[in-house]
Structure 1
Amino acid sequence: MKLTKILTKKLTSFWLLSLAAVAFVFLLCAVMGFTQLTYTFQQQKVAELETMLVADYQQHGSNQFSTWLPPLLTAYKAVDFSLSQGPQVVYQFHHDQADTSKNSLTLYQSQLSHGKLLMSLTLPPPFSLHNLGWHELIILVIGFSSIGIFVRFGYGWYSRELDGIEQLAQRSKLILDGHLKQAADVPTNGKPRMINRAISKLLADLDDAHKERGRLDQFIRKDTFLDKQTQIGNPIFFQNRLDGLSHNQKMVAHGVLMLIEFDDVDLVEDQYGESGVKAMLSLTTEAITAALAQYTDSIFARRSYSQLVIIVPQLSQLEADQLAQRILKTCLALPFHGIGNPDNFLHLGCAFFKAADLQVQLIEEAEMALRAAQLQRVNNWFMYDKGALDEQIAKGSVRWRSFIENALVSKRFFTLQQAIVDSDNQTMHYEIFSRARDLQGNDVRATLFIPMANKCGLMPQIERQVLEQVLFRLMSYNLSVYSINLSLDSLTSRAFVRWLQSTLLEHRPLAARLIFEVSEDIIVKNQKNTSLLKTLDMLRKMGAKLAVDNVGQSVVGTHYIQEYHFDLVKLHRSIVRRVHQRSENQLFIRSLIGGLYRAEVKVIAEGVECFEEWQTLKILGVSAAQGDFLGQRSEI
């Protein structure tokens, strides 16, 4: 931690400065004491010289000075000496080899023998006459070495003691940045230990609270959208998902709707009670769920007490026939007991739909097909005869693969964009959609070629071509932010990920203007896929934002949103449709936004089609939205 490391250095520097100041004061006092002592000693020697001069002058006069005075003055290191009696100089001495500067000499003048003699003596500073010996130098070296060792030991002690505070500061910084999991994984030997243990306990409680909030969100969604007996979608869930597949009551893609009805449920309940009915329905739903496992976008719900409903979008009629036969065969193979007529208790009605077919008409056709199957008085299924099919839907897999490969080679994929508008009606960013053109120049909808591209493993090539158009064409002449959907195949393709990583490294400033969207279904089903998680982490470190879309399409927990650090959450259109009339959907949105409180995650609504929906979403706290009401898709 940079800030706390600076604090540690400041504390250590202050301690070293204080120690140095104390040492300097002691050293200064020692020097002053030594200087004062030498001056006192020199004054004592001058006083002794004066005493000897007076005694000798009183006994012998001035005749004997030249005999004993020169050696004594030389021993004193005297520079100049003069002794005079009145105007007459009695004795004078000068040392020619003295190299001491005149500015540093000390002059002593005094009257001797009651003023009869005047002595003038010039001496060098007494401390300059002292030279350090080898034993004194050894003592100094040992002293300074001891101080250095002590300082080094003190610095190490400070560092060890403050290291615990560093860890506390590091954990606190991670918590403030929202990295709670990393803060919990930091070694727990911070000091003071009481504070460290308190932080660890609070992090554990917070993690448990987040999980509990996720479990509460999932419980709310289950209680709202799941049937309690079968744990599949209830009528509200079915209607939401059906609305999500339609626009202005018209279907937006092709597929099949199936109604499954049990004729003798009342007899089973009379004989075995509610538990018998629950066991029968549970066996059936488990078998059908296993049969639908390969259809990732399929919808399975309980429409009424004795009726189940299945919707499989983007399925050809031939595949729909095969699926109906497989479901009926699977259900009839179950060990049902208590059925009044085992040969006539289960019927399946199918209605194939195309884009622009009316939703109400689709349900009527499925019910008519169900009635036709029941009129045959045997366990059977019936497909409503709709007439001629769309030529594009009827294409086989081989023809679709050939079409997609040719479109990739000739670069006949192009992009559309739709604005995402915030609550102030300002454009936040644009979402990119892909289209293809056939050889006749007709547009091919993404709902047609994407399922086939997934089956053929060509989605990474398509999404790479779309990304190249966005990076090198769109982003070169404007500063807008763009969001792009990525499939599971692309996110787990090594070649695609390497290309994307090198491209973003080469154009690093553009990465901050990209938002990569991943479906909730992909995240929930691949939470243990390390390659997927590494790719998402790489995109985030490159500076791009991450969004999870289709939230609310399935009944799952939402704890993954903060766990994988998503920046945006996009509500599925089935939650948004008629939200102003559906309190259950409003409850889900409130619960989701409440769970993301204090997290830097924005919630975006998808598929807003009227003013009432947008107003309700803003009241609920949704940050932004997209849809035909706010702006239609436009070719770039």
Structure 2
Amino acid sequence: MRSSGVNEIIVHNNSHQVYQLKLPTSYNAWDTLTNQRYVDAPLMHHPGYSLKMVYIDPTASYTRSLETMFPVTVSIGLMILVLLFSYRWLREQTLGLEKLERRARKILGGERENAVRGDVHEFPPNASSAVDRLLSDLADAREERGRVDTLIRAFAAQDSRTGLNNRLFFDNQLTTQLEDEGAHGVVMVIRVPDWESMAGLPGKREREEYRYSLVNMLSTSVMRYPSGLLARYFQNNFAVLLPHRSLKEAEGFASQLINSVSAIPPANGIDSEEVLHIGISLYHYGQSTEQVMDQAEQAARNAVLQGSNGWFIDSNPVPEVVRGSVKWRTLLEQTLARGGPTLLQKEAVSVSGEVHHHDILPYIYDGGQALPSAEYYPLVQQLGMAESYDRQMLLQIIPLLRHFSAEKLAFPVSIDSLLQRSFQRWLRDTLLQSEKSLRQRILFELSEADVSQHIDRLRPVVRLLQGLGCHIVISQAGLKVVSTSYIKQLQVTLVKLHPGLVRNIHKRVENQLFVQSLTGACEGTSAQVFAAGVRTKEEWQVLKDKGIAGGQGDFFAKPRPVSRV
């Protein structure tokens, strides 16, 4: 009865009580009169008899349930507390393992730069210390590899005495210029005093400082031209290459050099009026490197014969088109008004012979003359129109992605534009309007020299582009002596060799060494090395032997208008 909640049973025969059973009276806080119920039912097998039962209704309130469930609830609560403390203890024991696993996952994902430092709570501690040691050794090896790559670049391109470009590198760049249809510009040979002949005179230290200041002045002056190149050509002769520049600009540059010499403090044994003798020669497509340099050197000799600081212009007539800043601005604004530059394309082919992507080449036209981006884009940047041109370029590229079905398109973008907040927001919004399958086929080409100079500021925008599915391509690799650390820091997709390194590479061991070093720097990353400007089968064969993944150039296909594809 107690387990059923029945307190009293009474059996009646008509009006007489036959039997009564009642539990002993004891106070229970859970049992109240409001919870008691009465039932009076006849006994069917005993006519005239009825059963009256007094019981506690468990559904009348929560008191009965609480009385019954209280021990169970306490037991469950204790079990939960035990489980919580056990989980906390187990969590503390496995936290070190989880931290080590999380760091290992980052390392496998390529985030080695951010995962070098371990946590003191990692477990087991010996495994954590071993990973730290290996990562530290790997970082040291990477730095050493970067220094070796830089030394290899310096060996292939730099003069050991002055730190400028050497004659071989200068000739490669000039040869590449002369092989491009429509190329033109200025070559200058600058003759300075013969320092070796003064070695026995007093004041050697002053002359060394004077020479250092003179070389620094020449280098600083050439750096004002985006595509300018300065090299120590032979002993006391320096050579300057100014692509797509006119004779008027060359004379202005020479005059600036003459005026800058007077600001250098004089040195014993050096006549300040006999320091710079400049020979100026124009070049154009179709000439040979030897012919251009002979003309420039002859002009330099004539400048020496004139006496005092000055320059002499080669007398061989070369047709040139001179455009002032006003004409350039008008031409560039008209191009924007017409919808942007004219686009040409050429295929980039992998070593297996398949088309890897299409390289988009922007051209503008001045009448019937086609001007490549190497000629007009420095003026675009100088006139502050880079952002407008890059926006127009992207607006032309996105429709082409549908035209080229499943193939990738690579096109150049200015670093100046990418560093502008307004352009970054516009670029993000524009790319988000296209489906991800299209964004994954966009390759942004950035100049290696500009990337190395602004790598810290470029990281956020590069992460943005890669987060949207786009790819980063580094172009003109090898043009400047810079570190290859950007390959891992920016996780680039492609690295394209400068055409000057590719030219006659089967004859130039130092360029082969550089290419082999660059392909080695890309090992263990997602980056691949492509060659630009391949012209002959011999060049292509040597490049494949050195481990590149593909190439582009006239050997594969010449540029074609996009509309004809």
Aligned twin of 2:264: 334
- Mapping of 1:361-400 within 5 angstroms? 361-387=291-317, 389-391=319-321, 394-400=322-328
AA of the residue aligned to 1:551: A
Task: Please state whether the residue corresponding to 2:200 is helix, strand or coil.
Answer: helix
AA of the residue aligned to 2:145: R
Cα shift at 1:618: 0.1
Cα shift at 1:188: 5.1
**Structure with larger Rg:** 1
Cα shift at 1:267: 2.7
**Per the alignment, do residues 519 and 345 of structure 1 end up closer, same or farther by CA in structure 2, a change over 3 Å counting?**
closer
Aligned twin of 1:631: 557
Which of 411, 414, 418 is matched with 1:487 structurally? Answer: 414
Cα distance in 1 between the residues matched to 2:439 and 2:118: 30
Query: Given the two structures, how large is their TM-score scaled by the length of structure 2?
Result: 0.83
Query: Structure 2: any 5+ residue segments left out of the alignment?
Result: 1-17, 24-45, 54-63
Which of 486, 500, 511 is matched with 1:560 structurally? Answer: 486
Task: Please state whether the residue corresponding to 1:182 is helix, strand or coil.
Answer: coil
Deviations 1:323-353 (A, max 9, x none): 1111133235433434365543531111122
Aligned twin of 1:176: 108
Which of 375, 378, 384 is matched with 1:448 structurally? Answer: 375
Aligned twin of 1:503: 430
Are 1:407 and 2:335 counterparts?
A: yes
AA of the residue aligned to 2:331: F
Deviations 1:363-388 (A, max 9, x none): 12101211110111323211224546
Cα shift at 1:136: 7.7
Cα shift at 1:272: 5.5
- Mapping of 1:258-277 within 5 angstroms? 258-271=188-201
Which of 524, 529, 536 is matched with 1:603 structurally? Answer: 529
- Mapping of 1:134-173 within 5 angstroms? 138-173=70-105
Task: Please state whether the residue corresponding to 1:179 is helix, strand or coil.
Answer: coil
Cα distance in 2 between the residues matched to 1:266 and 1:374: 18
Cα distance in 2 between the residues matched to 1:366 and 1:326: 19
Which of 548, 553, 562 is matched with 1:622 structurally? Answer: 548
Q: Is the 8 A contact 1:457 1:489 kept in 2?
A: no
Aligned CA-pair RMSD: 3.0
AA of the residue aligned to 2:88: G
Cα distance in 2 between the residues matched to 1:444 and 1:251: 10
Cα shift at 1:623: 0.5
Cα distance in 2 between the residues matched to 1:486 and 1:223: 30
AA of the residue aligned to 2:81: I
Cα shift at 1:259: 1.0
**Per the alignment, do residues 436 and 379 of structure 1 end up closer, same or farther by CA in structure 2, a change over 3 Å counting?**
closer
AA of the residue aligned to 1:586: Q
Q: Is the 8 A contact 2:340 2:389 kept in 1?
A: no
Deviations 1:452-493 (A, max 9, x none): 212112122222222222211443452211011101222123
Which of 152, 160, 164 is matched with 1:232 structurally? Answer: 164
Task: Please state whether the residue corresponding to 1:420 is helix, strand or coil.
Answer: strand
Alignment size in residue pairs: 513
Cα distance in 2 between the residues matched to 1:277 and 1:591: 38
Aligned twin of 1:573: 499
Aligned twin of 2:126: 194
Cα distance in 1 between the residues matched to 2:195 and 2:87: 83
- Mapping of 1:435-474 within 5 angstroms? 435-438=363-366, 440=367, 442-474=369-401
Cα distance in 2 between the residues matched to 1:216 and 1:565: 20
Q: Is the 8 A contact 1:264 1:339 kept in 2?
A: no
Deviations 1:201-237 (A, max 9, x none): 3222212211111011112222332222211112222
Are 1:582 and 2:514 counterparts?
A: no
Aligned twin of 2:448: 520
**Per the alignment, do residues 153 and 487 of structure 1 end up closer, same or farther by CA in structure 2, a change over 3 Å counting?**
same
Q: Is the 8 A contact 1:459 1:487 kept in 2?
A: yes
AA of the residue aligned to 1:303: Y
Q: Is the 8 A contact 1:347 1:381 kept in 2?
A: yes
Cα distance in 2 between the residues matched to 1:408 and 1:561: 34
Q: Is the 8 A contact 1:608 1:629 kept in 2?
A: yes
Task: Please state whether the residue corresponding to 1:372 is helix, strand or coil.
Answer: helix
Aligned twin of 2:154: 222
**Per the alignment, do residues 388 and 600 of structure 1 end up closer, same or farther by CA in structure 2, a change over 3 Å counting?**
closer
Aligned twin of 1:241: 173
**Per the alignment, do residues 341 and 331 of structure 1 end up closer, same or farther by CA in structure 2, a change over 3 Å counting?**
closer
Cα distance in 1 between the residues matched to 2:76 and 2:401: 70
**Per the alignment, do residues 598 and 135 of structure 1 end up closer, same or farther by CA in structure 2, a change over 3 Å counting?**
same
Q: Is the 8 A contact 2:203 2:267 kept in 1?
A: no
Which of 546, 552, 557 is matched with 2:472 structurally? Answer: 546
In percent, how many aligned pairs have the same letter? Answer: 29
Are 1:323 and 2:249 counterparts?
A: no
Cα distance in 1 between the residues matched to 2:527 and 2:230: 30
Deviations 1:256-304 (A, max 9, x none): 2111123443431232698777544322211111222322322111111
Cα distance in 1 between the residues matched to 2:498 and 2:308: 40
Q: Is the 8 A contact 2:491 2:525 kept in 1?
A: no
Cα distance in 2 between the residues matched to 1:478 and 1:279: 61
Cα shift at 1:548: 0.7
Query: Given the two structures, how large is their TM-score scaled by the length of structure 1?
Result: 0.74
Q: Is the 8 A contact 2:203 2:269 kept in 1?
A: no
**Per the alignment, do residues 418 and 477 of structure 1 end up closer, same or farther by CA in structure 2, a change over 3 Å counting?**
closer
- Mapping of 1:200-219 within 5 angstroms? 200-219=132-151
Q: Is the 8 A contact 1:298 1:311 kept in 2?
A: yes
Cα shift at 1:442: 4.7
Q: Is the 8 A contact 1:420 1:625 kept in 2?
A: yes
Q: Which one has a larger percent helix, Structure 1 or Structure 2? A: 1
**Per the alignment, do residues 354 and 239 of structure 1 end up closer, same or farther by CA in structure 2, a change over 3 Å counting?**
closer
**Per the alignment, do residues 488 and 135 of structure 1 end up closer, same or farther by CA in structure 2, a change over 3 Å counting?**
closer
AA of the residue aligned to 2:258: L
Cα shift at 1:604: 0.5
Q: Is the 8 A contact 2:282 2:318 kept in 1?
A: no
Q: Is the 8 A contact 2:188 2:279 kept in 1?
A: yes
AA of the residue aligned to 2:173: R
Cα distance in 2 between the residues matched to 1:222 and 1:473: 40
Cα distance in 2 between the residues matched to 1:326 and 1:197: 60
Q: Is the 8 A contact 1:257 1:309 kept in 2?
A: yes
Cα distance in 2 between the residues matched to 1:302 and 1:275: 21
Q: Is the 8 A contact 1:255 1:352 kept in 2?
A: yes
**Per the alignment, do residues 189 and 236 of structure 1 end up closer, same or farther by CA in structure 2, a change over 3 Å counting?**
farther
Q: Is the 8 A contact 1:288 1:330 kept in 2?
A: no
Per mean C-alpha deviation after superposition, the further-off stretch among 231-240 and 212-221 is 231-240
Aligned twin of 2:355: 427
